[in-house]
Amino acid sequence: MLDLAFSTEDLAHTRFAFSPAWEIVASVRVLNQPGEHALHLPWVKRATAALDEAGLDIGLLRDLVPLRHLPGFLAGTPATPLPELADELADLRDVPARVVRRELDAMAGPRTPALNRFHRDPEAGLERLATLMERYWDLVLAPDWPRIRALLEADVLHRSRLLAQGGAAELFNDLTPMVRWQGGTLTVAHRHLHAAVPLDGRGLVLVPSAFVWPRVFSKTDPRWQPVLRYPPRGIATLWETGTAAAPGALAAVVGRGRAMLLAELSAPASTTELARRTRLSAGAVSQHLGVLKAAGLVSGHRAGRHVLYARTRAAEVLVAGVPEVDC
């Protein structure tokens, strides 16, 4: 159990961010233990095939991602809300040698030959690691990144609305059942950690992560701003490919396509993501959203380079209140 003690200053410095570098680290953990991450098995099969076909040896990455203690330099705290992988890898290449050695020394168990080589020459090791992470990303994560990023952006939009509506308590208590807020303390249900850590004005970076599911990860090392990585809302739908069903009675009123989109917008989503889920064309989705927006049933919110659409209160009432009947 980890207790994070917040002050007013900490709340003021709490923010959201994504981290492509962290998704690399977390996804390697999924490959190391696929049986514990059944939800990601469709991705595991594709990723394994892509790595085998390319002949890419990710042994160094696997060695650096053990069951428990992860070296802190692998994925530092994101400095911006939407960092590019290239920027995070540049930071990785600049990690001081003494930090690398200290983190490797802290890992449990005997070091593999690859880690011994890394320990002897951290500068060359960091270059090898950054290059490997870049190739790994291109092969197994870049093709799915638009889908993953849309899920993460939708989660941040939802959390931001909760914060505006109900403050920190509503935000934190909705993150995951493994996290609870009470009396200015955020309790994280870690299985192998028991500590109380004051944030001391550093705040907390909340990082939604697709591959962290079904757990949460935290980092409170004083060398980095504290981080909490948690599964985003809608994670169970990430690899779905089926066609969404439209509520029958609602379809009779607004049309099948628009009813389908309203049903899918239980969490905010982009036009591209809605087209993928519903198998409607992007043009059709855009047209339907325009009509729904004009009718006050959806609203658009810019998130980085994308616009995420969400149901309005009127649409929530409409979707919840229409019974299922045959059309």
> Rounded CA gap, 299 and 157, in Å?
12
Q: Which residues pair with 227 in a beta bridge?
A: 205, 219
DSSP assignment of 202-224, as one string?
A: ---EEEE-STTTT--EEE--TTS
> Rounded CA gap, 293 and 253, in Å?
16
Band of pLDDT at residue 321, cut at 50, 70 and 90: low
pTM of the model: 0.78
**Residues 274-302 pLDDT 10s:** 888 788 888 899 999 999 988 889 888 77
Give residue 303's pLDDT.
65
- Close Cβ partners of 38 (under 8 Å, ≥ 6 residues apart): none
Band of pLDDT at residue 323, cut at 50, 70 and 90: very low
Give residue 244's pLDDT.
55
Band of pLDDT at residue 62, cut at 50, 70 and 90: very high
Copy the structure tokens of residue 119.
């320990």
Band of pLDDT at residue 35, cut at 50, 70 and 90: confident
Helix (H, G, I), strand (E, B) or coil at 249: helix
**Residues 120-171 pLDDT 10s:** 999 999 999 999 999 999 999 998 998 898 889 888 888 888 888 888 999 9
**Domain annotation for the chain: domains and CATH numbers:** 2-235 (no CATH), 247-320 (1.10.10.10)
Mean pLDDT of the region 26-44: 92
**Residues 208-249 pLDDT 10s:** 999 999 889 998 888 788 999 999 988 888 887 655 556 677
DSSP label of 79: S
Average pLDDT, the chain: 88
Copy the structure tokens of residue 90.
């540049």
